[in-house]
């Protein structure tokens, strides 16, 4: 790497002042007000629009939006040490550097096919991104977003690449992360960024799914999805290896379906104890930070997702997975009693405290999915604060004063689906029970009742994972169907696709790489009805359709494993 150039004295100072004046003028022109500090600025992710809001967390107002950040369905954010820049990690592999003062994108790179968050080094010079596809970690220069290093997450004799999760920074220019498929924890020392040194810890447990580093930077704790328990690595003494803690905390009890994956970044560290969600249980576990043994449990309203401590550690706030996600509960960390139950909206997806630890006015921002607002509650829960509207399911408004603030939106990707949803999508692609009560039979196989199966399938349909649940009749046995295609100009593809999708007679509408680039199937009571539908589509779009009636039927088995 080229070392930074040393600034020349005296002669160039007037020119620098001119550049600074130009930058400040640009800030004013963009509507972000007079020159100001950045300590109370933050970003809100608007998933559906692919943009972020820049917000003033003191005045609880939006200063503007920044467009063009791609797929933000599982976005997370870290901030630069001077709190001016936010680094947004998108699900499409995008890494975007946002200037909070100017309200603009500094640079955006697509660094992978599927990513799941990242971290910033302790000195603020490096940005690391954890990737599902291709599995591994990529490291970038924080100033330029130029690539610095790549660490492929290979494992086994055949060199497979694992999904990487639980990436976090640690003291000494290190990044620590877990390999979900391999059951490993790696520590990467980036003291020499061009030649990272990686220490591997194998056989840490089945499917580590998320992790955190304790506030003092000493312990890396990874949750295990494939078994009850956690993996703990002492970063002061990595030579001691990984230790299993809370092993089998649900032993002897029937496991419940996991309706949303808990997030370890939402663990609560309060005094000498840690509060964490029990995977698939209606409990919050209380753990001694001295020896990492269980010292208590708190029975709660549902399956906990985020367990967040108030900045002073006096109370812990808990939210829950569907169908109990309209509720928040507050736990007293001294008595381990629930002291308040709140219902701030139809679906609370995340919580975050502003970093006002020295005052009694600390606030917990909750994200309510259906009201599309950021709703702020007084940490004393006595009153509800003014809300901030957003355009879609959005993360809370973390302040830039904590460079590790993470934003976890709703479960809108396959990796975030709960176990029951995965089984319903994957296990019944074939051999769907043809009985008078098929959903009851499915429920019996999965350990839930019939109503839960129907409710979960309806939820998947509402969220767009399933277009319909019902029989598919053999061609021409009932009604009539036809494969059709349109040659749509590139600039009109989205508009024409939306128009075609308006017709209930249409299914399997896909874009293809061909002059005829929009292909779909039209169904109807008979051939005349299908022809009328296509005639209407042609009339509304001004495009002539290619009509391909069935000549010979072939059965293609489209069932395939959705997850390894």
Q: Write the pLDDT tens digit of every residue in 289-307.
A: 888 888 999 999 988 888 8
pLDDT tier for residue 37 given thresholds of 50, 70 and 90: confident
Q: What is the pLDDT of residue 9?
A: 37
* 362: helix, strand or coil: coil
Q: What is the pLDDT of residue 410?
A: 34
Give domain limits for the chain. Answer: 261-389, 419-462, 480-548
pLDDT tier for residue 459 given thresholds of 50, 70 and 90: confident
Mean pLDDT of 513-525: 91
Is it the case that residue 269 has pLDDT exceeding 50? yes
pLDDT tier for residue 355 given thresholds of 50, 70 and 90: low
State percent of the chain over pLDDT 90.
34
Query: Mean pLDDT score of the chain, rounded to an integer?
Result: 78
Residue 186 gets the label, from left (phi > 0), alpha (psi -120 to 50) or beta, of beta
| CB-based contacts of 109-115 (< 8 A; 24+ apart in sequence) | 109/140, 109/145, 110/70, 111/138, 111/140, 111/147, 112/138, 115/89, 115/90, 115/91
pLDDT tier for residue 401 given thresholds of 50, 70 and 90: very low
Q: What is the pLDDT of residue 252?
A: 43
Name the nearest CA neighbour of 60 among 373, 413, 371: 373
CATH of region 480-548: 3.30.70.3460
Name the nearest CA neighbour of 340 among 286, 285, 387, 300: 300
Q: Write the pLDDT tens digit of every residue in 89-119.
A: 998 889 999 999 999 999 999 998 888 889 9
Q: What is the pLDDT of residue 522?
A: 93
Q: Minimum mean pLDDT among 270-279, 502-511, 552-561: which range? A: 552-561
The CATH superfamily label for domain 261-389 reads YVTN repeat-like/Quinoprotein amine dehydrogenase (2.130.10.10)
Higher pLDDT residue, 513 or 416?
A: 513
């Amino acid at each position: 790497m080229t070392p930074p150039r040393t600034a020349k004295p005296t002669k160039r100072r007037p020119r620098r002042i001119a550049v600074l004046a130009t930058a400040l003028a640009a800030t004013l022109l963009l509507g972000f007000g007079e020159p100001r500090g950045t300590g109370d600025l933050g970003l809100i992710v608007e998933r559906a629009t692919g943009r972020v809001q820049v917000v003033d967390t003191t005045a609880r107002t939006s200063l503007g939006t920044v467009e063009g950040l791609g797929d933000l369905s599982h976005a997370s954010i870290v901030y630069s040490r001077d709190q001016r820049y936010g680094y947004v990690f998108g699900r499409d592999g995008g890494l975007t550097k946002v200037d909070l003062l100017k309200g603009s994108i500094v640079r955006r790179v697509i660094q992978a096919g599927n990513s799941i968050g990242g971290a910033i080094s302790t000195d603020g010079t490096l940005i690391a991104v954890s990737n599902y596809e291709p599995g591994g970690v990529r490291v970038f220069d924080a100033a330029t977003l130029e690539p610095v290093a790549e660490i492929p997450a290979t494992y086994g004799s055949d060199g497979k690449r694992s999904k990487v999760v639980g990436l976090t920074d640690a003291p000494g220019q290190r990044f620590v992360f877990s390999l979900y498929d391999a059951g490993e924890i790696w520590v990467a020392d980036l003291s020499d960024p061009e030649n990272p040194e990686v220490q591997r810890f194998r056989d840490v447990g089945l499917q580590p799914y998320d992790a955190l580093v304790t506030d003092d930077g000493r312990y890396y704790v990874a949750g295990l999805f494939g078994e009850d328990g956690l993996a703990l690595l002492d970063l002061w003494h990595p030579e001691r290896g990984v230790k299993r803690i809370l092993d089998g905390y649900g032993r002897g009890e029937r496991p419940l379906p996991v309706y949303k994956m808990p997030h370890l970044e939402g663990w609560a560290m309060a005094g000498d104890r840690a509060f964490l969600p029990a995977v698939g249980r209606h409990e919050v576990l209380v753990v001694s930070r001295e020896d990492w043994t269980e010292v208590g449990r708190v029975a709660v309203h549902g399956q906990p997702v985020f367990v967040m401590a108030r900045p002073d550690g006096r109370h812990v706030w808990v939210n829950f997975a569907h169908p109990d996600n309209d509720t928040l509960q507050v736990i007293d960390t001294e008595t381990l009693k629930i002291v308040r139950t709140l219902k701030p909206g139809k679906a609370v997806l995340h919580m975050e405290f502003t970093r006002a630890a020295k005052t009694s006015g600390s606030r917990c921002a909750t994200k309510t999915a259906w009201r599309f607002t950021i709703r702020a509650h007084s940490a004393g829960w006595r009153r509800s604060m003014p809300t901030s509207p957003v355009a879609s399911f959005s993360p809370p408004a973390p302040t830039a004063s904590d460079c590790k603030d993470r934003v976890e939106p709703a479960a809108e990707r396959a990796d975030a689906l709960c176990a029951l949803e995965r089984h319903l999508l994957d296990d019944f692609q074939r051999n769907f029970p043809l009985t008078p009560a098929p959903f009851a039979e499915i429920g019996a196989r999965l350990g839930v009742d019939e109503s839960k199966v129907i409710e979960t399938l309806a939820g998947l349909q509402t969220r767009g994972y399933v277009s319909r649940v019902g029989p598919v009749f053999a061609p021409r046995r009932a009604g009539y169907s036809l494969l059709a295609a349109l040659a749509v100009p590139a600039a009109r593809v989205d508009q024409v696709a939306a128009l075609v999708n308006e017709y209930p007679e249409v299914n399997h509408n896909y874009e293809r790489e061909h002059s005829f680039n929009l292909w779909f199937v039209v169904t109807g009571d008979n051939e005349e009805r299908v022809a009328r539908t296509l005639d209407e589509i042609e009339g509304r779009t001004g495009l002539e359709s290619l009509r391909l009636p069935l000549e010979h039927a072939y059965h293609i088995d489209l069932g395939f494993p959705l997850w390894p």
